[in-house]
Amino acid sequence: MVLNSLLFAVAASFIMPVLLAFAFAKGNTENIPGKKFVIVFALGSLMYALSELLLREFLLLKVIVPRFSDSLWYYYIFENGVTNSTLYFSAFSGVTIAVLQELFRFAVFFIVFKLLKDKSKSMTTASVYGFGSGWMESVSILGVMAFSYLIGNDGERGLDDIWATRALLAGIERIVYLFYHVGYSMLIVYGFKHRKKIIMFLVALVLHAGLTTIDVYLGKIGLEYTTLIFINAAMAAAVCGLAILLWKYTVKTDANIDK
């Protein structure tokens, strides 16, 4: 099921930029031509799909489960229900997801600024990339919902209405993740622009790991999706707000440097 949704996500990572190309073909956004806009968006989309592929299909299913499925450690972390181990599971998930995705993000921006020669290192670059990776986060969950509803987990029947509603709410919750990815991307691009790459990478990594741990934990203890949506929206706004404040705080300095 995860593999199906990932294939859906990878396909969408090519379809969405093509559609955007038509929308932005005649316009520029903060020194980024429409062509580069599409490339950056597609790189963001592929980053998320690849990180999910490595995390779920390889790391979890091929490495962790076969190696530890018979051990007390695996039972304690993954199958012990809502107990103290829930926090350990949430932290494990949060840190693993954050490390993979932020490493990909850092690498993609390095490629964008070196190979594509994007000297502006602007908030727009960060935002476009963030929307690309956030789009994949949303579409992969919606892909799971679509495949589950159409063919069912057993290949014969679809989800009932209750689970279909929960899946839809999960998809909406992931749409909020668009703004997480925009915020993290802004922080890292800020680091590139101001020669603080490693510092801002670590800031984004810690924020990503911490907030993902909170999100996984709240979901694990059975918090309703409608509540999760509002909590995630508030946390995503905080990340974006921090990034925007950093950019605004140094805008006068940037103007003087540009002169």
In tens, the pLDDT along 126-142 reads: 887 777 777 766 666 66
Is the pLDDT score of 182 beyond 60? yes
- pLDDT for residue 243 is more than 80: yes
| Sequence letter at residue 9 | A
Selection from 125, 99, 94 nearest residue 212 by Cα? 94
Q: Six-digit token pair at 29? A: 């956004």
What is the pTM (predicted TM-score) of this model? 0.73
* Both structure tokens of 234: 């508030």
Question: Which pLDDT does position 209 carry in this prediction?
Answer: 92
pLDDT at residue 252 in the model = 57
User: How many other CB atoms are found less than 10 A from the CB of residue 123?
Assistant: 20
Model confidence at 259: pLDDT above 50: no
Residue 193's closest CA among 131, 114, 119? 119
Judged against a pLDDT cut of 90, whether residue 203 lies above it is answered with yes
| Residue whose structure tokens are 């949506």 | 229
Tell me: the pLDDT tens digits for 64-110?
Answer: 655 555 554 445 455 544 455 677 777 777 888 888 888 888 888 88
The rounded distance, in Å, linking the Cα atoms of 82 and 20 is 43
Higher-pLDDT residue of 11 and 45 is 45
Whether the predicted pLDDT of 53 surpasses 90: no
